[in-house]
Chains A and B, each alone.
Chain A
């Protein structure tokens, strides 16, 4: 039997991470114990394979039983009552696992190697696992230790700064708030730039489904439904060789999330509890009541025909206007949170289970915002016979998010009102009610406290599989998988917040989003003559999506106290009630071969058919190939002791994108074009039956090197991604009756370099590890059809343009060159283009690009770029015995932010408040300043031009996480009857170094292409947490 194990192609799975991975069963198939008990005892010492240090607390379990002991302070152990045929399993956190057959030995000394040294470490790849050292594509793996230490509540945040080539930006700092993730740049012009997520083999819905987002341009983070505590590892597949097996949905990379599974042995119970508090990381300075009144008076006096200021400015006795409110102080709070996680994992040879549940209760730093989440998971694997295994992974999540309408430029946006509502507007009226709407400004505290904005979410992600070994090494596996999101949203704005007497409004939405499918595949692994390793995979899958939404909008509710829609006097919208469907049918295959692990080769092919395209263009073919060369195994390399392992990799392949509407190619006639009570229909989407896949071709070259007894490992990649036939909503003349037609046009290129270094600087009792990663991506639009362009570009939202030769995040507008000190400084008589006024002292000096002394749209120019030059992170982990300290910095350099919120808070529109920058405003002829004179309802509309004045350097370094933990020594723990006891303190977002003047440079008010805009999102907070992990 033992020989069989060693010779089997599964041998390589034996060592390390396999413990909790799905392929563990294969190992067990071959490692059945046959002996019977005979009294014997074994003892020995367990040491670190590199340093020779004794390892304390190593778990030693008799295979196939629940009996176990652990090693003492000297690394010694003693195991009684075993027989010669028994196998002992030695395992230790952060180290590999070793199985040893006892035989007749009484003393068995064991060396274990830390995981980073392990040549046998495996990682999850599409439809299988692979030895990490044999990977020929570009894959990053983030393990549970890093995830647990991060103290973050969702798996996407965890990736920020930890994985080269993966850029994570926060849309919102709200609990459960939206995140944008981008792997190797934007490769699409439509919104389809997010990667494919696969959880335990289930391709899940990762689009933001929330449809009541108030004034915000993004929804909640759908990955918040996954409890990070359940995650064993996250693999990020970046190059085409790794992703092409996922074909058409893989152009933006693939993120594989693998959850923890049970292993045989005594049930391990893990309880972790953490609690903490958050506060806003920075407040912004605004004018107080006195300063404010003076600015507004100036703004009146600076009008062409000054009028008497509105009474509210002069009348400081009116109870509505006699305040001096610091709105930030009133609205922001220190917010507590806690989380409890309970897991029980274990099993026998036949059945293994992993059960877990967690509860999170997280307050946000804005009043009344709160997120509660309950997760529950059960993963079971059941071995029916030597050849047949069944299993399932099911998770259920309930989330209740009490949201705040924080982002956006509307006056319902709390953050905007927080910064621009005049301080003189009192918080309360004399009768104790909120002083609400005044001159276009709403009361942000009232909005937070009284408006309803909730999102309830029930989600089941599950899969069931069976796996049957038809012949040795030849297996059939079939998964049935499902992801069902059932969401209910409510919104209500009471009349007390409106200016119209009795006007209130509410909305309700219920969404059901079901995606389900089947994946069935055959896999074959064979080692021929010891040196030739061959594996093959062939399969098919289908997946279906059904999105259903029902809802109503209503207004004139009878009472502010009944907010359900039965109370609405008028139903104003029912057109939200829709059902859409989408399906995909795919065939895929893979062939990989290596010779002694020295020459590696792999090829993939996937064919995807999508219902979104016309009949003739449905199927797309996505091939890839990769090669690897472990040149450290060549004879000429043998003398170089310094290099332990070195491998070159190359890959090329194609992936696709179908991110268009479900019915775009067929065109649509929409209902709801009603003429009062008569129901009408109208063409809403112009058909284009010729639409086809957007295709990305990616080239990748990589180098993996391990040096100095694997103390230093280095992974470097360079890549080139070319995306063609971009699916884009091409604007067409409105004389067609349509605003746009979706077409395949143009191309984009992303190229970049990624570097990760892991270094074990100190080993021994005192350990010091460093992980560093940095990446740089250059995005360029390489082709746009000329007939789409106006002045050579496409306007992308208000602030960006799309232009050949430029990256997608390019800001385009007027360059602000300061302020005319005196009227006569405008020597050329430069005029405002639209209305011809001559600029005077106190007005902005605009860069007159064409020198015609008229400032009009021809003077716009590139004023910034939202894409960073490089970004990454560095982690230093120190440990001494049970004590460990992790310090994680995350950085981004060279990205600009267009601060629309700074525009709002530096411009007098009606009677809004300004930032303290306004104290330096131009007041009199001769003043030299960069802050123009404030003008009430400025006819020049200087402030609302898209301009460089609102573009800021968004570079930053963040002390993202410090984690100090102490593992109580094993002998103490054992006395307490425990397996493990760890206490820790953790700080998130502790310090940010940046020149950016907004709340936080980690900001992105839009999901999708309109990057780097700060319209005032829910601000980021800093959090301090304390935690306790107990294992029984």
Chain B
């Protein structure tokens, strides 16, 4: 019995000792604590990939809803967002008015921008190009935010504590665009020129930064700078126009030489292209009559873009290939091509035209026209066919870049939105160009006020 006492005493001592407070230190096993991440260069790299992950979600279907839904090339049978966008009956409850994914992308970028410098003891090319990618992705997000909502809250620091101010005001869109340009200039200087293999098309490079800068300058009507940055893209030997035979491949297989920046998707991280354009006669959008009638004769792109065999085409097969069966089980593994050379060439043409450099403008325009098998235009022909050179370029953009998410922004940028859309859905007020703020955003932040048109 004495022994038992000893054993028991021993056990008590053991138990008491073994139960120090240390047992309450449980760090995450399958994830990192908020402060535990960003320790190594590999972490820095994954943190940046994490931003692209958010970008995938942002643009999955919205590149089309935002860029095409309100414009004249599409028509829809779908109630919900597509119908509201087409009929210009946007309300604060529509899904596309949500900015959640855009700000999630920005938040991830802000974490990377803050913490990557702390990972590396000395500034290296590697660390700089990672930060440059993060800043380019932040710029891309804010650029879309401005195009969609106008003035938006500007957040450039990560949220890490409840002591930070959650409720922040919107700032003037020009101030946001200033930040966008600062970020993109940094990116155009510090991103890598190329990556090995396909990554050059799906990660931000200097070329992609310059291409996006061109877009931003065009949006701001800063044509001189637009020409300068577009020039850098055109001079970049990473990019060249593909032949007409390979034109479809820009979208169906991706990673072509014409591509500047694509958002990558695969079998499991799918894009929404099927839902948008070709799913069992039931897609969100199909080509409008006016779009179908706007092709010039002999345009070789026409039957690569939609099902011309059907009197009432129900699918757009530009992204899947001619004769695509929209009842197949294929997921949308296609990349979304956000920036490509033809786009920048046409933007440059537009800028030259605005700067009264019509010859430069026309030669760039004809580069794209000729590839599609339609004839060269001189100024007189452009004016006779389309009214003016800008309209000719804009028309070319509407065909070449059809359904790629540019049309609505082109109309707004060039001041043609009301002219084109008024007959279709009665659009009549410039204040109507922006989306409403989603009710959820308004509800959660008392400082936000609804865009004036939607009040």
Contact = CB atoms under 8 A, between A and B. Distances in A.
Interface of A: 385, 387-388, 468, 470, 476, 478, 498-503, 518, 520, 540, 542, 544, 556, 570-573, 577-585, 609-611, 618, 662-663, 666-671, 673-690, 731-739, 741, 743, 787, 790-791, 834-835, 937, 939
B328 A501 contact: yes
B311 interface: no
A754 B213 CA distance: 71
A443 to B, nearest CB: 18
Contact of B328 (A500, A584, A676): A500
Contact of A835 (B35, B89, B100): B89
B54 interface: yes
A540 B91 CA distance: 59
Nearest to A685: B34
B46 A683 contact: no
A542 B34 contact: no
B111 A683 contact: yes
Contact of A686 (B29, B34, B329, B444): B34
A669 B160 CA distance: 12
A440 to B, nearest CB: 10
Contacts of B27: 663, 666
Given A503-B329, A741-B162, 19 more contacts: A518-B15, A578-B29, A579-B29, A610-B24, A611-B24, A618-B21, A662-B28, A663-B31, A666-B28, A666-B35, A666-B36, A668-B28, A669-B31, A674-B269, A675-B52, A678-B46, A681-B32, A682-B53, A738-B159
> Lowest 9 CB-CB distances: which A-B pairs, in order?
A737-B107, A667-B34, A680-B49, A790-B443, A682-B50, A680-B50, A669-B37, A675-B52, A500-B329
A141 B281 CA distance: 63
A736 B167 CA distance: 9
A676 B269 contact: yes
A939 to B, nearest CB: 7
Contacts of B19: 540, 542, 585
Nearest to A683: B111
B15 A520 contact: yes
A683 B99 CA distance: 18
A676 B50 contact: no
B418 to A, nearest CB: 21
A1007 to B, nearest CB: 24
A734 B35 contact: no
B375 interface: no
Contacts of A618: 21, 24
Interface in B139-165: 153, 155, 158-162, 164
Nearest to B199: A678
Contact of A671 (B31, B100, B164, B327): B31
Nearest to B25: A611
B19 to A, nearest CB: 5
Contacts of B329: 498, 500-503, 556
B31 A733 contact: no
B167 A687 contact: no
Contact of A478 (B5, B11, B103, B107): B11
Contacts of B161: 687-689
B445 interface: yes
A792 to B, nearest CB: 11
Contacts of B446: 787
Interface residues of B, number: 81
A674 to B, nearest CB: 6
Contacts of A609: 21, 24
13 contacts: A503-B329, A578-B31, A581-B26, A611-B25, A663-B33, A666-B28, A678-B52, A686-B34, A687-B34, A690-B162, A734-B440, A735-B155, A787-B446
Contacts of A611: 23-26
Interface stretch (B235-243, B259-267, B296-304, B338-346): B259-267
A736 B155 contact: yes
Nearest to B34: A667
Contacts, number: 228
Contact of A679 (B46, B110, B331): B46
A741 B98 CA distance: 19
B426 interface: no
A683 B107 contact: yes
B34 A520 contact: no
Nearest to B279: A500
B89 to A, nearest CB: 6
A686 B160 CA distance: 6
B348 interface: no
B415 interface: no
B268 interface: yes
A908 to B, nearest CB: 13
B21 A683 contact: no
Contacts of A690: 162
B50 A673 contact: yes
B8 interface: yes
Contact of A500 (B43, B48, B327): B327
A385 B16 CA distance: 26
B24 A583 contact: yes
A734 B103 contact: yes
Contacts of B49: 673-675, 678-681
A944 to B, nearest CB: 11
A737 B23 contact: no
A559 to B, nearest CB: 14
B93 interface: yes
Contacts of B100: 734, 739
A571 B268 contact: yes
A980 B227 CA distance: 99
Given A388-B4, A585-B21, A732 B166 contact: yes
A699 B202 CA distance: 63
A680 B29 contact: no
B168 interface: yes
Interface in B102-136: 103-104, 106-108, 110-111
Contact of A737 (B11, B36, B89, B110): B110
B41 to A, nearest CB: 13
Contacts of A734: 98-100, 103-104, 440-441, 444
Contacts of B106: 737
A733 B448 CA distance: 10
B196 interface: no
Contacts of B89: 834-835
A572 B54 contact: no
B280 interface: yes
Contacts of B69: none
Nearest to A833: B91
B327 to A, nearest CB: 7
B140 to A, nearest CB: 14
A572 B268 contact: yes
B34 A662 contact: no
Nearest to A687: B34
Q: Which of A388, A584, A668, A791 has the most CB of B within 10 A?
A: A668
B160 A667 contact: yes
A917 B161 CA distance: 54
Given A736-B159, A939-B79, A681 B264 contact: no
Contacts of A478: 11, 15
B47 interface: yes
Contacts of B158: 683, 737
Nearest to B55: A675
A579 B29 CA distance: 6
B91 A834 contact: yes
A732 B21 CA distance: 33
Contacts of B91: 834
Contacts of A663: 26-28, 31, 33
Contacts of B31: 578, 663, 668-671, 684
A714 to B, nearest CB: 45
Nearest to A556: B329
B455 interface: no
B30 interface: yes
A348 B110 CA distance: 72
B12 A520 contact: yes
Q: Among the interface residues A581, A667, A675, A685, which one has the most CB atoms of the partner chain B within 10 A?
A: A675
